[in-house]
Structure 1
């Protein structure tokens, strides 16, 4: 039986300004097709806006979740028992860990439009990943959810 200690779920959605940019891409496509008449202009506006919106939406679709005894970050699923200490990164420190402090072996789920992050040490000796870098709008809440899941997992006797 798994305990759901402090559930956490966050979608790293793209900022609102990206939707305006998507519309402007559609306007650009419409302007490119201007010499060909009204129907191509409308097609360029609709098609360009839709294509740009799909790109913005897919880039902003990853989720970070703490479910049962696992941390799910994008496509990665890591048992909380394999995780160690968490460090909340404020904007300047987060930028440092995205750039010159970064380890090429680290798992990075980063979105540059989210200024804060959480760095979580990976303690599994079988895993070459030294840490997880997770862009998040609520790093304190995510750290608390991981810690609560780890405690709940440690308190539950292993099933044989």
Structure 2
């Protein structure tokens, strides 16, 4: 009988790229405003229906915007290596040749003319700095990963440890 249990992993760093708290009042306010408009325009509906539908929809959209997670995970087995996970994509640390922080001031240049079209980019506009991870993998055409992170120094420290 084979053992199908997953090898235990140690999470060195984890961060969810949630929307800022101050997006919630305008998001829910806009949903309430649309509910008022629907309420005034469609008299056959009960008054509570537009609010019961649109407010949860706004909350789901705001949660969905912040669903991406950045993690650095290392296995505890002898053949397990450290990996960088961004959403569902993962990258072994062994193929990283170098990494650096991209400050908020250099973000537009990194995402503009300097951006390689083959790069893997996970950009969230509400997150200021980014992490640049340059790859050295002959089997992968992706030259680098460019990832939003609120704490790039922690991501880099977890990758290097």
TM-score > 0.5 by shorter chain: yes
Unmatched 5+ stretches in structure 1: 149-160
TM-score by length of 1: 0.83
The equivalent position to 1:57 in structure 2, one of 48, 59, 63, is 63
Residues 1:92 and 2:105 aligned together: yes
Q: Alignment RMSD, CA only?
A: 2.0
In structure 2, the CA distance between the partners of 1:40 and 1:28, relative to structure 1 (3 Å rule), is: farther
Work out whether residues 95 and 135 of structure 2, in 8 Å CA contact, stay in contact via their aligned partners in 1.
yes
Q: What residue in structure 1 maps to residue 18 of structure 2?
A: 13
More helix by percentage: 1
In structure 2, the CA distance between the partners of 1:88 and 1:39, relative to structure 1 (3 Å rule), is: same
Residues 1:43 and 2:56 aligned together: no
Unmatched 5+ stretches in structure 2: 1-6, 75-81
Q: What residue in structure 2 maps to residue 157 of structure 1?
A: none
Which structure 2 residues correspond to residues 1-160 of structure 1 after superposition, within 5 A? 4=10, 7-35=12-40, 36-37=42-43, 40-68=46-74, 69-148=82-161
Work out whether residues 8 and 67 of structure 1, in 8 Å CA contact, stay in contact via their aligned partners in 2.
yes
State the distance in 2 between where 1:38 and 1:16 align: 35
Deviation at 1:17, TM superposition (A): 2.2
TM-score by length of 2: 0.83
- 3-state secondary structure, aligned to 1:7: strand
Count of residue pairs brought into register by the alignment: 147
Deviation at 1:65, TM superposition (A): 0.5
State the distance in 2 between where 1:144 and 1:42 align: 51
